[in-house]
Structure 1
Amino acid sequence: MKKFLVAFAFLVGTAATSMANTSNYYADNAAVDQVFQNAAEVSLSAYDFNAMKTENNTTTVSSEKNAVVAWALCWVVGGFGIHRHYLGTSGSMWALYTFTGCGIFGIIPTVDWFVLLIDGVVNKNIDKYVDNEKFFMWA
């Protein structure tokens, strides 16, 4: 209970001291109105949205992925499967990685890290891992 009271007192004290300096801040309404008056009006009718459509009504992103970026993402946040999203896997892969204890307690991201290091960074070929829907991307 003492720890809670000390933490609460610290938070209240921090909030009180940070609120003490708010009198120095003000909004110049005339300057804000001037910004809005000088702003350029944008119309959506100037864009050709039909040119952006593809055959199945989806937009595609360049399939060229950087192996070093995928490897670095695996190194930093591999337990959450963010590197797999970068490589173009399904939207639920983050849940599979997270809810299996960061990829079966970190084993899967560790293997992914080595695979991306060897095949991606050294051999510069990660084509078989891009848009791979398998849980084990190397299998």
Structure 2
Amino acid sequence: MKKLLIVLTLVLGISAFTTNASASYTIDDAQIENLFATATATTFSMVADVAESAPAMAIASASGGKDPLIAILLDFFLGGFGIHRFYLGTKVMTGIGYILTCGGIFGLMPLIDLIVLAVNWDDISAYVDNPKFFMW
């Protein structure tokens, strides 16, 4: 019975696929030419201007080139190992301190770091290259 259902499903699936595959498409050359005629030319300088005005780039440049979203994600998933602190540019001993204290005082430090980074989303420059064990 199972084999009959499998074969029946395959036959119906193949027949449905072949009926949809026979659709014909036409290309109107006049519409394509009109589209190219009305299009505006884009130069690299225009693309660079748009990229510079993006808010994510402004946040990253204000915080020393570090993206707050990446720091928050690293803190959320790997906070116990202090990986977010390495990303933000702390000293090696701070990361070792996080590891030796079972995730920064038993997981309390990464939680506080997550809250601090989320609250100060606009400007995390105070936490970039911060050598202190307590980031705030």
**Partner of 1:72 in structure 2?**
73
**Partner of 1:133 in structure 2?**
131
**Aligned residues of 2:80 and 2:107 also touching (Cα < 8 A):** yes
**Partner of 1:107 in structure 2?**
108
Give me the identity figure in percent. Answer: 47
> How far did 1:94 drift?
1.8
**Partner of 1:92 in structure 2?**
93
Q: Distance in 2 between matches of 1:81 and 1:94?
A: 5
> How far did 1:75 drift?
0.2
Aligned with 1:132: secondary structure? coil
Q: Which has the larger radius of gyration?
A: 2
Q: TM-score, normalised by structure 1?
A: 0.51
Q: Distance in 1 between matches of 2:64 and 2:120?
A: 17
Extract unaligned runs of 5+ from structure 1: 1-61
Q: Deviations over 1:84-106 (max 9, x none)?
A: 00000001222100101110000
Q: TM-score, normalised by structure 2?
A: 0.52
Backbone CA RMSD of aligned residues:
1.4
**Aligned residues of 2:94 and 2:132 also touching (Cα < 8 A):** no
Is the helix fraction higher in 1 or 2?
2
Aligned with 1:128: secondary structure? helix
Q: Deviations over 1:2-34 (max 9, x none)?
A: xxxxxxxxxxxxxxxxxxxxxxxxxxxxxxxxx
**Partner of 1:81 in structure 2?**
82
